[in-house]
Amino acid sequence: MTHQQRRTLLIGSRGSHLAKAMVREFLAPLRAAHPHITFKQRTIMTSGDKDRVSSLQALGKSLTSIFATQVEEALLRDEVDIAVHSLKDLPTTPTPRTFLAVTPAREDPRDALTGTPWEGLPAGARIATSSARRIAQLAHLRPDVTTVPIRGNVPPRLRTTREMGLHGCLLASSGLRRLGMGGEIGTDMDPDLYPPPPAQGVLGVQIREGDRHLTEAEHRSPLAGTRYALRHTCVSTWLNAQVSETLVARWAGHSVAVLKKIYAKCLVGEEEHAKKKIEEALKRGRAAPAGGPDPSARIQHR
């Protein structure tokens, strides 16, 4: 039975509040455009969801596989027709027999600090985050700040942050906004100084390689015409590693600013250009003297 005849499409995703909000966002225009099709969501437990205590690094797997593998496996077993991911959770190299069909309009890509505004953080402030990237970047801007590991869904993280008396929590702005919790944001972190990860704020809509007809406009297929924010955001593993190395280094903030567009918005086909720019930034950073103007003054707050 073909997908055109089935009249029902199963959408697979993680089961968190945020994942469900992402699926609702993705399906809203599809349901309006295709009232004859029933879209049903199926939640899938990933290994990262099962263990919410251990740090992501301690789980001993690729960080992308932690939140994507089980959803992809369900897609390949024909248990769901479409998989909706946070694009940054997908591996850099596409999984065989899958196709990244759609990347809808991007939400705010920045990181956000909840609670105390950035400029109001006292010396020795305590900030909740388990992300190695966020910890490294925070240490670069404010080496006096202590990070406290917290994992889990967004609402419990915010609740734990308050219960522990922490000054704030670093999260993706897109997640807070999609959950209707934008009011929790105290500071929007300037991406020139605090670059977000590649593809943050973008949904990755994945199908099986053999189901590309779902995107064909001439067949009025359900994914046809869905707006693309990025054709296929896919940043190399090398880029991630080099940016992390750069951010950990203690040198003038202008070198971090060089990475903004490369790190957050690199598109397929631009990896060699990105690699060249990163290498140039690394050379400048290693040659730059310590000290200089305090770059944290440029971070925007609400």
Q: Would you name the residues annotated as active-site residues?
A: 89
Intra-chain end-to-end CA distance of the chain, in Å: 53
Q: How many CB atoms lie within 10 A of CB 279?
A: 11
Q: Quick one: which H or E segment has residue 137?
A: helix 132-141
Q: Does residue 203 sit in helix, strand or coil?
A: strand
CA atoms of 189 and 125, how far apart (whole Å):
17
Q: Which two three-digit tokens encode residue 197? A: 């990860």
293 class by beta-carbon count within 10 Å (0-12 exposed, 13-18 middle, 19+ buried): exposed
Distance CA(302)–CA(291), nearest Å, equals: 27
In DSSP terms, 143 is beta-bridged to: none
Q: Which amino acid is at 108?
A: D
How many angstroms separate the CA atoms of 263 and 156, rounded?
A: 29
Nearest to 257 by CA among 299, 224, 218, 291: 299
